Structure 1
Amino acid sequence: MNPLSILLNKCTLNGDNYEWKRNLNIVLNYDKITWVLSDHEPEALTPQSTPQDIEYHKKWHDANELAKCYILASMNSILQKQHEGMGNAADIMLHLHEMFSTKTRSAKVKAINAFKDLKQKPGELVRDYMLKVISCLNEAELNGAEIDGKTQISMIIHSLNLSFSQFKLDYELHTRDYTLGGLMNDLQNVEEVLDLKKKPEAHAISTSKPKPKGKNKITGNKKISKGLMGAKKKAMKKKTDSKDNTKGKCFHCGVKRHWK
C-alpha cells in the first residue's frame, strides 16, 4: 500500500477543495502511474496483437484501476456514487475539472493577484517576507497558476523595499538566474551588510557629547546681573554725591547746610 495515501484521507474531495488534486498527484507520482491520466486507452487486443501490445494493454489497465481506486477513495460518498461507473481515471478527472474548474479559476486569479500585490514593508525581515512570498506562490500553483521561474524572481525583486534599491539596480544590469532559495540567501546577506552599516551611525549618534543646555542663559544672566549691579552702583553714587552737595555753604549767607 502506498504510504502517502494518508494524504488523501486528510484532504477528501467534497467540492470546495479542488486543491485535493495536488495531493492526488503526489500519490499517483509515488506509484508512477500519473501517465495513465494523459495516455489514451489502448485498443482491444486481437489475434494479431504483438507481445508489446499485450504488455502495454495490461500495464495501462492495471495503472488505470489503481488510479481509479485512489481517486474514488479520496472523494466523499456523494461524488463516489456519481463517478464509480466511469470506465477510466482520465474521464473521472475530466468530469471533476468541468464541475469545479470555475471555483478553481476564481481561486487562481485571487492567488495571482495576492502575489502581484505583495510589497515588502520597511523594516520587514527578508526571511519573513520570502516565506510570505513562497506561501502565495504555492497557493497560486495549487490552483493551477503557472508563473515561470524568471517572472517569479523578477516580481519578487521589484517588490522589495527601498533598502534594496542597489540590489535591484545590480539585478537589472547583470541579470542572474536565481532560484527562490538562492535569492533568499543573497537578500539575507545584503540585509546583514545594511545592518552593519546602520550600527556605526547609531553608535556615533549615541556617543556624541550633547551640548550643555542653559549655558548661554546662565552667561546671559551673569551679564544681566553684572549690568544691574553696575546700574545700582551708579545710582548709589549719584545719591551719595547729591547728599554730599547738601554739606556745602549757602551762597546767600555763607552758613553750611543752609540753602534757604
Structure 2
Amino acid sequence: MPSNPILSLFSKELLTNENFMKWKANINIVLIGNNTKFVMTENESDIPDENETECVREKYERWHTAKNKAKAHMLVIMSETLRTKLENLDTDFHTMDQLKEMFGHKSNQARFEATKNYVNAKMVLGMHVRDHFIEMMNYF
C-alpha cells in the first residue's frame, strides 16, 4: 500500500482496460499535486557535460527526479500485468503513449457516443430549462 494518501486512494482502482479515462484523470491529479506533470510534456534534455552551468545541471537533475517520481506514481496504480509490461519504458510520455494505443480506442468511441447523444438531444415540451441543462451536462 502506498504511503502517499492520494496514491492510497487511487490504488483501490488500478488501471484496467475499462477504466483508462478515469485512471488518466486520476494520474493527472497526482502528477499535478506533486509538481511532476511537466515530464509528460517537456522533452528530456541531454546529459549536461562538465562545461555546462549549474542551472543547466539542476534543470537536468530536476527533470530526472520528477520523471522517476511520476513513473513510480503511474506504476503503483496499475495492474500487475500492465506494470510488468510498461516498467521498462524510458519516459512517462512513452508509457502514456503505449497506454493510449492499448486503451484509447474506447475513449474515442465514448467521445463519439457522448457527442452523438448531445447533438441529438431535444428538450421535451414542458421540461424546465434547468433540468434540460443538467441532462446536457451529464453527456460530458
Q: Does TM, scored on the shorter chain, surpass 0.5?
A: yes
- 2:99 counterpart of 1:108: no
Amino acid at match of 1:47: E
- 2:66 counterpart of 1:63: yes
Per the alignment, do residues 125 and 94 of structure 1 end up closer, same or farther by CA in structure 2, a change over 3 Å counting? same
Rounded to whole Å, the distance in 1 between the matches of 2:37 and 2:122 is 37
- 2:41 counterpart of 1:38: yes
Per the alignment, do residues 25 and 45 of structure 1 end up closer, same or farther by CA in structure 2, a change over 3 Å counting? same
Q: How does 1:72-83 map to 2 (within 5 A)?
A: 72-83=75-86
TM-score where L is the length of structure 1: 0.49
| Structure 2 partner of 1:12 | 14
Rounded to whole Å, the distance in 2 between the matches of 1:10 and 1:122 is 44
Q: How does 1:1-260 map to 2 (within 5 A)?
A: 2-19=4-21, 20-137=23-140
1:48-88 Cα offsets, whole Å, 9 max, x none, are 12111111011101111111011111111110010111222
1:124-153 Cα offsets, whole Å, 9 max, x none, are 23332222221212xxxxxxxxxxxxxxxx
Per the alignment, do residues 30 and 133 of structure 1 end up closer, same or farther by CA in structure 2, a change over 3 Å counting? same
Rounded to whole Å, the distance in 2 between the matches of 1:44 and 1:86 is 18
Structure 1 SS opposite 2:16: coil
Specify which structure has the bigger relative contact order, considering alpha-carbon pairs within 8 angstroms and separated by 6 or more residues: 2
Rounded to whole Å, the distance in 1 between the matches of 2:35 and 2:70 is 10
Rounded to whole Å, the distance in 2 between the matches of 1:70 and 1:54 is 24
Task: State the 1:4 CA deviation.
Answer: 3.0
TM-score where L is the length of structure 2: 0.88
Rounded to whole Å, the distance in 1 between the matches of 2:8 and 2:122 is 37
Task: State the 1:2 CA deviation.
Answer: 4.9
Amino acid at match of 1:105: N
Per the alignment, do residues 127 and 10 of structure 1 end up closer, same or farther by CA in structure 2, a change over 3 Å counting? farther
Across the aligned residues of Structure 1 and Structure 2, the Cα RMSD in angstroms comes to 1.7
Contact 1:12 1:76 in 2 (8 A): yes
Structure 2 SS opposite 1:4: helix
Unaligned runs of 5+ in 2: none
- Which shows bigger deviation, 94-103 or 70-79? 94-103
Per the alignment, do residues 44 and 73 of structure 1 end up closer, same or farther by CA in structure 2, a change over 3 Å counting? same
Q: How many residues align?
A: 137
Rounded to whole Å, the distance in 2 between the matches of 1:27 and 1:118 is 35
Structure 2 SS opposite 1:136: coil
